[in-house]
Chain A
Amino acid sequence: MLRISCPFCGVRDHSEFSYGGDASVEYPALDASESEWVEAVFQRENLDGVQFETWQHIQGCRMWIVVERDTRTHAIHSVRPAHDGIAQALNAEQDGVGTS
């Protein structure tokens, strides 16, 4: 069992989460060319090593998170909210707690 430290809920078993996929994939604009969409939807690096990947805490807070994980050893190096704005808000809040 992997143990994932959800930024909102704390450390939980991975069976509470649903694996998304490669977090480095960025969807193009809606009017982008067909080949750009084929690239984003179907083509993957499929790294053997440390990769950023999305998970959803489907049986917890239901938030999407980005996990930095080694696909050979399953070691998890970092976890953060997938949404940049939420990640920044969370960081600001934690920094605030740390300095007050």
Chain B
Amino acid sequence: MKPYSAWKVFVNGLTGQKGWDRAWRDPEPKAEYDVVIVGAGLHGLATAYYLAKNHDIKNIAVVEKGWLGGGNGGRNTTIVRSNYMLPGNREFYEHSLKLWENLSHDLNYNVMFSQRAHVTLLHSPAARDGAARRYNTMRLTGSDGELWDLETLKRNIPHLNYSADARFPIIGAMAQPRAGTARHDAVAWGYARGADQQGIDILQNCEVTGVERNGSTVTGLQTSRGVIRAKKVGFAVAGNTSRLWRMAELGKLPIESHKLQAFVSEPLKPLLDHVVVFGVGGAHFYISQSDKGGMVFGGDIDWYKSYAQRGNLPIVQDVAECATSILPCLGRVRLLRHWSGVMDMSMDGSPFICKTPLDNLYLNAGWNYGGFKASPASGWYFADLIANNRPDPVIADHTLDRFARGINIDERGAGPDPKLHG
């Protein structure tokens, strides 16, 4: 497959766009693979890509029940950031951000990563102190962070609601300038094309219906396209992890499936060139503007467990109220569409990239709200885990037994209630 280039865009523009190849093949399943990854979302595709690129394992299949990138990979608000504070999360998300910074070149696919800064609004001195602590921690561990006073914020984003009689007047912001957004579909397509170029089979419309075991070893997967034998198996199906876990007869998980909605408005002229986050007094809201002009935003999860990929109306009202309270200029903008994804909400809000009770089964799950930004590092470390059968020190605590060991990675301090880890 030939690499994309500006020259090819130019030539094809003159020749009726007839010179393009398929971006990836549509192969028939082979009887056996060295590694089978379940789930062709961003994490599964990235895992396959890095297994081939970093570890030279190429006899790989990625099986997907629907179409690639049709799950949460295409159902998010595309925000990329690394403003986490706790050990375990800090290094992991910063590594992910570094991978994002070179991802378009690495994949030879424009993922439209735009480092437009992630700006969290502050409304009280206590919030500012908390932000200072967080951003000092970030700067001490090799990341970037800034505290913006009100004047700096007004200079950068002049049209927020700075009214002194707002319910929660804005007093400043904390910003991560290297954070931003990316085109979510392009990330899935870029990883799929990159994996396919290295000989990896991406098997779409191939639903796993059973896990074949021989004692503590997985021997293969029953799928809607026949039995596929595998030397190693990785699960990367956030949202449906518990279902697969039951198929493997492994019992319970510290996970509940919840819905998170995302929204996009009709396209507007350029209005907002940052990611803005508003969270105070029960509000939880994040907004950015896509390259097509749509305002992309989201808020809380739907507050009750669900496997239905459709959202509920109270959250629509919530995000609309938040939007108009910080950006009153959006008052007459119409909502174009909204959608919902099913997520693994874990008991401490942090993910799992770990070995399992079965010798050759590996788990990648529990991404809560954070799956999109995490996908490059998730694939990177999951591939390393599968290839070497031991976790990198960065993900050493991202295990299922961390609750029993009392080392929860609870960034919000919300306790063992999955719905609170937004």
| Complex A-B: 19 CB contacts under 8 Å | A1-B313, A13-B314, A14-B304, A19-B303, A21-B417, A34-B404, A39-B252, A41-B403, A42-B254, A42-B347, A43-B253, A44-B252, A44-B254, A44-B255, A44-B256, A44-B418, A46-B253, A46-B305, A48-B242
Q: B312 within 8 Å of A by Cβ?
A: yes
Number of interface residues of A (CB under 8 A): 28
CB distance from A68 to the nearest CB of B (A): 13
Q: Mark B284-307, 1 if CB is under 8 A from A, else 0.
A: 000000000000000000011111
Note all chain A residues with C-beta closer than 8 A to B252: 39, 43-46
Q: A100 within 8 Å of B by Cβ?
A: no
Segment 255-286 of B: residues with Cβ below 8 Å from A: 255-257
B307 CB contact (under 8 Å) in A34, A43, A72: A72
Note all chain B residues with C-beta closer than 8 A to A72: 306-308
Q: A94 within 8 Å of B by Cβ?
A: no
Which 10 interchain pairs have the tightest Cβ spacing? Answer: A46-B242, A19-B304, A43-B252, A42-B403, A42-B254, A48-B307, A15-B314, A38-B404, A42-B347, A72-B307
Q: What separation, in Å, do the CA atoms of A47 and B86 have in the docked complex?
A: 31
Q: A99 within 8 Å of B by Cβ?
A: no
Note all chain B residues with C-beta closer than 8 A to A73: 308
Q: Is the CB of B308 within 8 A of A71?
A: yes
Note all chain A residues with C-beta closer than 8 A to B133: none
- CB-nearest residue of chain B relative to A19? B304
Note all chain A residues with C-beta closer than 8 A to B255: 44, 46
Note all chain B residues with C-beta closer than 8 A to A22: 256, 305
Q: What separation, in Å, do the CA atoms of A44 and B243 have in the docked complex?
A: 12
Q: B419 within 8 Å of A by Cβ?
A: yes
B419 CB contact (under 8 Å) in A19, A34, A41: A19
Note all chain A residues with C-beta closer than 8 A to B253: 43-44, 46
Note all chain B residues with C-beta closer than 8 A to A13: 314
Q: Is the CB of B313 within 8 A of A41?
A: no
Q: Is the CB of B254 within 8 A of A43?
A: yes
Max chain B C-beta neighbours (<10 A), residue from A1, A38, A46, A71: A46
Note all chain B residues with C-beta closer than 8 A to A21: 256, 305, 417-418
With A43-B253, A44-B256 known as contacts, the answer to whether A38 contacts B403 (CB < 8 A) is yes
With A21-B256, A42-B347 known as contacts, the answer to whether A74 contacts B306 (CB < 8 A) is yes
- CB-nearest residue of chain A relative to B405? A38
With A19-B419, A53-B305 known as contacts, the answer to whether A45 contacts B242 (CB < 8 A) is yes
Q: Mark A6-41, 1 if CB is under 8 A from B, else 0.
A: 000000011100110110000000000011001101
CB distance from B247 to the nearest CB of A (A): 12
- CB-nearest residue of chain B relative to A55? B304
- CB-nearest residue of chain A relative to B347? A42
Q: A2 within 8 Å of B by Cβ?
A: yes
With A38-B404, A45-B252, A48-B243 known as contacts, the answer to whether A71 contacts B313 (CB < 8 A) is no
- A sample of 19 more A-B contacts (CB under 8 A), given A14-B312, A19-B304, is A19-B419, A21-B305, A21-B418, A22-B256, A34-B404, A39-B252, A42-B403, A42-B416, A43-B251, A43-B253, A44-B252, A44-B418, A45-B242, A46-B255, A46-B256, A46-B257, A47-B242, A55-B304, A73-B308
Segment 47-80 of A: residues with Cβ below 8 Å from B: 47-48, 51, 53, 55, 71-74
- CB-nearest residue of chain B relative to A67? B304
CB distance from B205 to the nearest CB of A (A): 20
CB distance from A64 to the nearest CB of B (A): 14
Q: What separation, in Å, do the CA atoms of A39 and B416 have in the docked complex?
A: 12
- CB-nearest residue of chain A relative to B258? A19
Q: What separation, in Å, do the CA atoms of A45 and B416 have in the docked complex?
A: 15
Q: What separation, in Å, do the CA atoms of A42 and B254 have in the docked complex?
A: 5
- CB-nearest residue of chain B relative to A41? B416
CB distance from A80 to the nearest CB of B (A): 18
Note all chain A residues with C-beta closer than 8 A to B403: 38, 41-42
